[in-house]
Structure 1
């Protein structure tokens, strides 16, 4: 009687009813909104979690590591003045503290080109290269030059640099603070090669000058490191007690340790 047996009079043109939609009229709404809420919630939580993790990692990385480019922002004037401070610390009449500046809401320090007391890696690396070249030249004068001997001297220099780094870092830990950036300590340890290179060069010009220059360079490096470590502890770490005799003894021990280290690095070819 009707073309479609599933329709009744008066209901033509209307969509067929779904029994499930009649039983749960809110099901489709919750089904549609549920994944959106889950995605939004998980996305917000994930962004917060990974964002906080990223900030945590950046703060801790910057706490112990610094941007390497910072240590190479130097010019001729800085190098000349820094060498005077390292080789003749008694003549340094200015302060030993670094110049700070706020950057992105955090306290930072000006690069070496603007601050004579900032550490750099240019002078230590150039001094280390000069040390290796002078060591090779000395081996040649002694008739003991060979690639193996020069390689041994190069390795000795690297070991001495690492020992100096460990000494400075251990000093900070023993005083209750070791938060200084690693590249800062690596830079301070590398300044030793400036004095060692000068003493070796003096021995090439006049053999007996070595016995005067090397002790003087040891003394100057000891004074430079004591002044620098005091500044690091007092102004940066804020754990240095001005009247702590224990701290004074540790700083004195660090200065005395420069003598055997310098003479060991300056001993080339058994000379």
Structure 2
């Protein structure tokens, strides 16, 4: 009976389209014992793919869903109200500390005045370096003003700046390290001593200059930053002197020392003369008024004459 039923329905099956052919699933076989796997089997950890052929959103490629314990650590951290409050409190403390530091710095150093001494450009730097090395042809040494305010260094080559002294100091330290390395005498202690000595000499020079102006009651518009700038210009001459010694030996060193010392002395005398002697009207009254111009001149000449001594003291041990 069952056989006749199949025979009766068999012609009707020929009118239907062919049924899809499903291949038999292949069984996974373990590799031979002596043949190791070239790649790890990660097919079980592959991310799910939707019907459009894209990976399912929210799946964590690190091995855990985005909402699971492996991918929710960072999200839970930012979603935690206690963590958010701690971050806000920490940022407020940082801002308060920044304000306190700025106030303490402003009590001793004027930030706006310090910005004035770094308002330079490449054109000013080139002109200033030429003026420091070849000051003899320069005619106008007066600092220009605009509404009782001195022009910034980028607009006036006669204005003192702190950019060139700072960069020259760093260059001098690097050059000193190279000179010591060439002579097989380099060590961090020797280089640190060289840097600290060069810095201390500038501080001593500025303090002596301020004390002299105070004791002699000489009134001028020179500020502490001005004196630091004029004292720091010697680093340019020191670089030129050390380079002369490294390239041409002791003869080149003494020639470069003589040239840089004379140029710096001329520059200091002409610059400080315009600064110190320009305010004689403040000291025109009093019994010692006639001696004030001479005292100002003595201070200016003494400051200029002291520069070659410092240059020689700070550079002679670098060239042998």
Contact 1:134 1:197 (C-alpha < 8 Å) held by counterparts: yes
Q: Deviations along 1:192-230, whole A, 9 cap, x unmatched?
A: 100111110111111121111112211211111111111
Match of 2:122 in 1: 76
Residue from 161, 179, 199 that aligns with 1:158 = 199
Structure 1 window deviating more from structure 2 (179-188 vs 135-144): it is 179-188
Distance between the aligned counterparts of 1:111 and 1:147, measured in 2? 38
Contact 1:168 1:189 (C-alpha < 8 Å) held by counterparts: no
2:159 match: secondary structure: coil
Distance between the aligned counterparts of 1:259 and 1:90, measured in 2? 17
Unaligned segments of structure 2, at least 5 residues: 1-106, 284-289
The TM-score, its normalising length taken from structure 1, stands at 0.68
Q: Deviations along 1:113-145, whole A, 9 cap, x unmatched?
A: 100111111100010011101100110111100
Match of 1:235 in 2: 278
Distance between the aligned counterparts of 1:115 and 1:270, measured in 2? 36
2:239 match: secondary structure: helix
- Structure 1 position 234, deviation (Å): 3.0
Match runs of 1:1-271 below 5 Å: 67-93=113-139, 95-102=140-147, 107-173=148-214, 174=216, 176-177=218-219, 179-207=221-249, 208-235=251-278, 238=281, 244-269=293-318, 271=320
| Cα pair distance change 1:243/1:166, threshold 3 Å | closer
The TM-score, its normalising length taken from structure 2, stands at 0.58
Q: Deviations along 1:231-253, whole A, 9 cap, x unmatched?
A: 11133575587993343333222
What count of residue pairs does the alignment treat as equivalent? Answer: 206
Q: Structure with the greater relative contact order (CA < 8 A, sep ≥ 6): 1 or 2? A: 1
Distance between the aligned counterparts of 2:252 and 2:208, measured in 1? 28
| Cα pair distance change 1:238/1:88, threshold 3 Å | farther
Contact 2:177 2:191 (C-alpha < 8 Å) held by counterparts: yes
Distance between the aligned counterparts of 2:280 and 2:146, measured in 1? 17
Of Structure 1 and Structure 2, which has the larger fraction of its residues in helix? 1
Look at both structures and tell me which one has the larger radius of gyration over its CA atoms: 2
- Structure 1 position 175, deviation (Å): 6.0
Unaligned segments of structure 1, at least 5 residues: 1-59
Q: What's the RMSD between the two structures over aligned residues? A: 2.6
